[in-house]
């Protein structure tokens, strides 16, 4: 049987590893040595479970979407991560990592953010724990995501605009790593997805795996079996998808469908479909698939959804694709917009634009009536209203 877990060297097949500057070696190796025992300790479990329940609002509902099911001729359940505190799945990860930081005796938090969703989730848990928080954000993103910048500031975080490169997520991540290099002893870096050097991809996947743990329990209750026929999730760096599939990876009867952002189309220069368009390289400490030119320069990704335009992808997902464990769809801007309106009008749920890419997979698959499909709605769409309205006017 294939093993989809990370190996002791930090690899998923050919992808992963920990390529960090010498100065970070100590901090990263300490995390590698300690993360599993911290995450499995009774003290961590107790505190994590308590915060997920009382602060985040878990378990999130598994909602049988009847009108959507009727439309696609199968039984669709929506995993409602949009109902979490701060409006997305990202809070599961930041709650977990701030507890890890505390266990390691760190006193200061840095984070990167693109659209601002991870920055807000990090600033939120820092407020909760009374820890200073610095969030690096590309200047371009600071300007186009004002509301999230103001939220982070209200929460007490310092937002540092990054002016290198294209002034977006990749550059913000570089800057956060640079800060960590300057303060390796007292600072903990909360990464927002299943990316970065080992052990981050595995640690974030484990923290988000509360999603698939709940799906199993909830499906057993309403379907009499814990396993669905299909799982569907969108992929930026891969954390909500990793959380959705985690406990189903070794069951080949569960089909995994992932949606990456096609942008204007994978045959145009305006795309963020890393798995379709990428080739092997190293970004932010790990071997993975990357959008790059012939000289290895990272290409600027494009998607209508600010949470999906990352030029890399988690090493786990690169592996799942290479091993054909997951089928990956490039869902374009217009398909995602159409899917978002469809969910809104059929079910009264306005999804995040990222999640709308997962919904955009539904018309591409031929389901049968008894198929049980679980689709993760990773976040709510309040932040995307302007984009949605602009589309409606056309
Ligand atoms: C950040 C974000 C994503 C993409 O990140 P993953 O790590 O791939 O899950 C998807 N949906 C929402 C709502 C987000 O905020």
| 394 residues of the chain, pLDDT tens digit each | 468 999 999 999 999 999 999 999 999 999 999 999 999 999 999 999 999 999 999 999 999 999 999 999 999 999 999 999 999 999 999 999 999 999 999 999 999 999 999 999 999 999 999 999 999 999 999 998 899 999 999 999 999 999 998 899 999 999 999 999 999 999 999 999 999 999 999 999 999 999 999 999 999 999 999 999 999 999 999 999 999 999 999 999 999 999 999 999 999 999 999 999 999 999 999 999 999 999 989 998 999 998 898 899 999 999 999 999 999 999 999 999 999 999 999 999 999 999 999 999 999 999 999 999 999 999 999 999 999 999 876 6
Structure tokens belonging to residue 275: 């798995």
Catalytic residue ranges: 90, 112, 378
Report the first-to-last Cα separation within the chain, whole angstroms: 50
Nearest to 272 by CA among 336, 349, 206, 340: 336
134 CA → ligand 1 middle, Å = 20
Quote the CA–CA distance of 331 and 120 in Å, as a whole number.
26
379 CA → ligand 1 middle, Å = 8
Whether residue 83 has its Cβ less than 6 Å from ligand 1? no
* Displacement of CA 141 from its chain's centroid (Å): 18
* Atom 10 in ligand 1: residue holding the nearest Cα: 354
Considering the domain delimited by 58-88+209-393, tell me its CATH architecture. 3-Layer(aba) Sandwich (3.40)
Buried b (16+ CB within 10 A) or exposed e, 320-330: bbbeebbbbbb
243 CA → ligand 1 middle, Å = 11
Element (H, E) at 261: strand 255-263
Whether residue 351 has its Cβ less than 6 Å from ligand 1? no
Beta bridge partners of 234: 259
Structure tokens belonging to residue 7: 């190996």
Nearest to 204 by CA among 343, 95, 340: 95
CATH 3.40.50.1100 fits 12-51+90-203, yes or no: yes
Buried b (16+ CB within 10 A) or exposed e, 113-149: bbbbbbbbbbbbbbeeeebebbbbbbbbbbeebeebb
Whether residue 234 has its Cβ less than 6 Å from ligand 1? yes
What are the pLDDT digits (tens) for 382-392? Answer: 999 999 999 87
Whether residue 378 has its Cβ less than 6 Å from ligand 1? yes
Q: Give the ligand 1 atom nearest the CA of 379.
A: 13
Structure tokens belonging to residue 253: 């009867």
Quote the CA–CA distance of 274 and 315 in Å, as a whole number.
12
- The best mutation among 308, 315, 320, 328 to test binding of ligand 1, ranked by most ligand atoms within 8 Å of the C-beta, falls on 308
* Displacement of CA 307 from its chain's centroid (Å): 8
Whether residue 117 has its Cβ less than 6 Å from ligand 1? yes
Q: Give the ligand 1 atom nearest the CA of 192.
A: 7
Same fold, 12-51+90-203 and 58-88+209-393: yes
Q: Give the ligand 1 atom nearest the CA of 243.
A: 9
**Domains of the chain by residue range:** 12-51+90-203, 58-88+209-393
Percent of the chain, pLDDT > 90?
94
* Atom 3 in ligand 1: residue holding the nearest Cα: 307
């Amino acid at each position: 049987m294939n093993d989809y877990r990370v190996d002791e060297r930090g690899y998923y097949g050919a992808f992963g590893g920990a390529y960090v500057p010498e100065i970070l070696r100590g901090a990263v190796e300490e995390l590698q040595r300690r993360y599993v025992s911290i995450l499995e300790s009774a003290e961590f479990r107790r505190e994590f479970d308590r915060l997920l329940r009382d602060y985040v609002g878990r378990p999130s509902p598994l909602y049988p979407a009847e009108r959507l099911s009727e439309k696609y001729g199968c039984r669709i359940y929506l995993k409602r991560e949009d109902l979490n505190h701060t409006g997305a799945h990202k809070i599961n990860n930041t709650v977990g990592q701030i507890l890890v930081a505390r266990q390691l005796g760190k006193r200061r938090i840095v984070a990167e953010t693109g659209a601002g969703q991870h920055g807000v989730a990090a600033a939120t848990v820092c407020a909760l724990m009374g820890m200073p928080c610095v969030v690096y954000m590309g200047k371009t993103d600071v300007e186009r995501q004002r509301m999230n910048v103001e939220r982070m500031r209200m929460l007490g975080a310092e937002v540092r605009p990054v002016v290198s490169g294209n002034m977006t997520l990749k550059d913000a991540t570089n800057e956060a790593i640079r800060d960590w290099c300057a303060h390796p002893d007292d600072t903990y870096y909360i990464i927002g997805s299943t990316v970065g050097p080992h052990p981050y991809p595995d640690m974030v996947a484990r923290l988000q795996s509360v999603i698939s743990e709940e799906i199993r329990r909830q499906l057993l209750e309403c379907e009499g079996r814990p396993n669905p026929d299909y799982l569907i999730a969108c992929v930026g760096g891969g954390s909500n998808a990793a959380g959705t599939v985690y406990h189903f990876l070794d069951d080949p009867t569960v089909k995994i469908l992932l949606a990456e952002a096609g942008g204007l189309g994978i045959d145009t220069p305006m795309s963020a479909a890393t798995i379709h368009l990428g080739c092997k390289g190293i970004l932010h400490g790990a071997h993975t698939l990357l959008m790059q030119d012939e000289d290895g320069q990272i290409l600027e990704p494009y998607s209508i959804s600010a949470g999906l335009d990352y030029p890399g992808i988690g090493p786990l997902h690169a592996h799942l694709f290479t091993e054909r464990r997951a089928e990956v769809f490039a869902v374009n801007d217009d398909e995602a917009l159409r899917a978002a309106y469809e969910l809104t009008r059929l079910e009264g749920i306005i999804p995040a634009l990222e999640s709308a890419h997962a919904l955009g997979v539904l018309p591409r698959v031929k389901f049968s009536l008894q198929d049980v499909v679980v689709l993760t709605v990773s976040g709510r769409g309040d932040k995307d209203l302007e984009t949605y309205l602009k589309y409606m006017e056309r």
